[in-house]
Amino acid sequence: MPTQEKTRHLTAVELLTTVLDPGTFTRWDAPPEQPPHSIDYARDLAAAREKSGQDESVITGSGLIRGHRVALIVSEFAFLAGSIGHAAAQRIVQAVERATAEGLPLLAGTASGGTRMQEGTPAFLSMVKITGAVRAHRQAGLPYLVYLRHPTTGGVMASWGSLGHINVAEPGALLGFLGPRVYEALHGERFPEGVQVAENLFTKGLIDAVVEPAELPNLIDRALRILMPPTPGPISPPSTLTVGPSSADAWTSIRISRNPRRPDLRQLLRYGADDALPLNGTGQGEKDPGLLLALARFGGQSCIVLGHARPLRGNGADGSNGADGSDGADGSDGAEMGPASLREARRGMRLAEELRLPLLTVIDTAGAELSKESEEGGLAGEIARSLYELIGLRSPSVSVLLGQGAGGGALALLPADRTIAAQHAWLSPLPPEGASAIVHRTPDFAAAMAQAQGVNVAGLHASGLVDHVVDERGTVDGIGDAALEQREFCRRMAGAIEYELKSLTSRPVERLLADRFRKYRSLGA
């Protein structure tokens, strides 16, 4: 009976050779200083050196990845299962601290069974000082990227292996807190198959991507172009600065916004951004399809992007949402945002603050999810916490009203230093049908309610909320519609986004906060 061929995983040196530009690696490691140990442990260390060709379970240093100078910490699993004892921990901490001092982004390539059992509790406690070094690195505004290799478990997965701004994994890698062998020894049965596997962790929103080692240099190159961009130069004012609100009535705008072929956030990134690198989930076991989180560049300006994601539809081959013949007139076309969406959004807010990048929020929702699960998941509290974070965000921020803007799901992503709106976007406490049902006990007065409430861009601009309007030029019966010029509209919107982001980045944070508070304090006055 044929046996399945066992997958071979790269050694530390092979991974370094794969990701680094040839001839650029400089090793930082001094000879390890082991703590006092027994004769048996001395034999283990000698055997590990012989087997792995390394003097400890980690290699550290710096090198170039597509021209970017990067600090690296790479595990060698062949050295006592990549376990972390005193000497390895000291090596890791010193490398992290050196990367911080030299202002370098840091890549960790883990492959470890966790704490070194031969050294017991002192080795176990070393995970705290490693975490402290990583925290200081991140708080310096420097990127920390993690590549989880097979296997990564125990104290490594529960400390520096799970703290990346971006966390990606090797295909098929075993990743988890408890090693399967330990579980089986303790419980007398095997751990369920398929749980501690990279692909499952991606599905659950615990990691951002599953990436072959050969693909890692391209991913890191893209990430660093966004996370560590050069200082943007001046930008010419876009033509959209002179655009005013549409003369169409509010109900016309609402119907146009519900066209399933209307450009959404995915198309804005595809057609308008110079690059966009999607992230995945909260990192805490949740992934809600109602929200998209990404790193992106618009022209020379990098940012963190988070926004509502409309449901994928129809053909999608040209980047559209598809067209099924309906116009979504009942307001049901947009994505429903659950509490996990806002927890993922708050991950994006924290990234913006920590990496000192501006935040872009994109609003396009028919409303938050109304369900037992959302109520029990704390949707109202998540909306409140999102508002709390955005109004006090210590990074420049721009919000975009792209299409539908119904209820708390829209409001949760709204507060920003500047707000851009597509001409037929809108913002309302409820879909107009719901507002009509409350006031008139029937949805039949939705159009009149929308007009009376001032939900369209004309009303929002007059109130001082909308600062910049992007025109929709494709016309039917003389009324513009972005669905008829998807690429061109997205490029105009991208130009407006780049301009507004760049205009904010030179302002001191304290001034931004004061102006933001003042703007929302005075709305409607």
Cα angle 380, 381, 384 (rounded to 5 degrees) comes to 90
Cis check for the bond before 263: say yes or no (omega within 30 of 0). Answer: no
- 375 pLDDT band (50/70/90 cuts)? confident
- Given this model, what pLDDT does residue 371 score? 84
pTM value is: 0.91
Q: Counting beta carbons within 10 angstroms of the beta carbon of residue 274, is it exposed (0 to 12), middle (13 to 18) or buried (19 or more)?
A: middle
Query: CA-to-CA distance for 170 and 216, rounded, in angstroms?
Result: 10
For strand 144-152 and strand 106-112, is the pairing parallel, antiparallel, or unpaired? parallel
Identify residue 472 by its one-letter amino acid code: E
> Is the CB of residue 106 less than 8 Å from the CB of residue 156?
no
Question: Stretch 330-352: mean pLDDT, rounded?
Answer: 79
> Angle, to 10 degrees, between the axis of helix 12-19 and the axis of helix 216-227?
60
Cα angle 290, 294, 297 (rounded to 5 degrees) comes to 140
> Is the CB of residue 175 less than 8 Å from the CB of residue 197?
yes
Please provide residue 258's backbone torsions phi and psi, each rounded to the nearest 5 degrees. -95, 0
- Sign of the CA dihedral 414, 415, 420, 424? positive
For residue 406, give the DSSP letter. B
What are the tens digits of pLDDT across the range 264-282?
999 999 999 999 999 998 8
- Given this model, what pLDDT does residue 313 score? 56
Residue 343 has pLDDT above 90, yes or no: yes
Identify residue 124 by its one-letter amino acid code: F
Tokens representing 511?
A: 């001034």
Residues 6+ apart with CB under 8 A from 77: 9, 11, 57, 111, 112, 149, 151
Identify residue 230 by its one-letter amino acid code: P
What are the tens digits of pLDDT across the range 424-447?
999 999 898 888 889 999 989 999
What's the mean per-residue pLDDT of the chain? Answer: 91
Buried b (16+ CB within 10 A) or exposed e, 303-328: bbbbbbbbeeeeeeeeebbeeeeeeb
Half-sphere exposure of residue 503: CA atoms within 13 angstroms, side-chain side: 16
Query: CA-to-CA distance for 303 and 448, rounded, in angstroms?
Result: 39
Question: Stretch 225-248: mean pLDDT, rounded?
Answer: 91
Query: CA-to-CA distance for 430 and 410, rounded, in angstroms?
Result: 10
Give the chain's domains with CATH numbers: 12-226 (3.90.226.10), 250-522 (3.90.226.10)
Query: CA-to-CA distance for 1 and 57, rounded, in angstroms?
Result: 37
Chain centre distance of CA 269: 14
Q: Which of 191-200, 409-418, 465-474, 488-497 has the lowest mean pLDDT?
A: 191-200
Query: CA-to-CA distance for 180 and 190, rounded, in angstroms?
Result: 7
Q: Which of 128-137, 266-275, 314-323, 453-462 has the lowest mean pLDDT?
A: 314-323
Q: Which of 61-65, 311-315, 469-473, 506-510 has the lowest mean pLDDT?
A: 311-315
- Given this model, what pLDDT does residue 194 score? 85
Percent of the residues in the chain that have a pLDDT greater than 90, as a whole number: 78
Half-sphere exposure of residue 212: CA atoms within 13 angstroms, side-chain side: 4
Q: Helix, strand or coil for residue 125?
A: helix
Residue 476 has pLDDT above 80, yes or no: no
Chain centre distance of CA 209: 11
Question: Stretch 460-474: mean pLDDT, rounded?
Answer: 95
Question: Stretch 323-349: mean pLDDT, rounded?
Answer: 65
- 37 pLDDT band (50/70/90 cuts)? confident
Tokens representing 221?
A: 């190159």
DSSP for 31-59, please give it: PP-PPS--HHHHHHHHHHHHHHSSSSSEE
Residue 320 has pLDDT above 60, yes or no: no
Between 279 and 336, the more confident residue is 279
Question: Stretch 163-173: mean pLDDT, rounded?
Answer: 97
Percent of the residues in the chain that have a pLDDT greater than 70, as a whole number: 94
For residue 322, give the DSSP letter. -
Between 149 and 443, the more confident residue is 149
> Is the CB of residue 290 less than 8 Å from the CB of residue 347?
no
Query: CA-to-CA distance for 225 and 300, rounded, in angstroms?
Result: 10
Residue 418 has pLDDT above 50, yes or no: yes
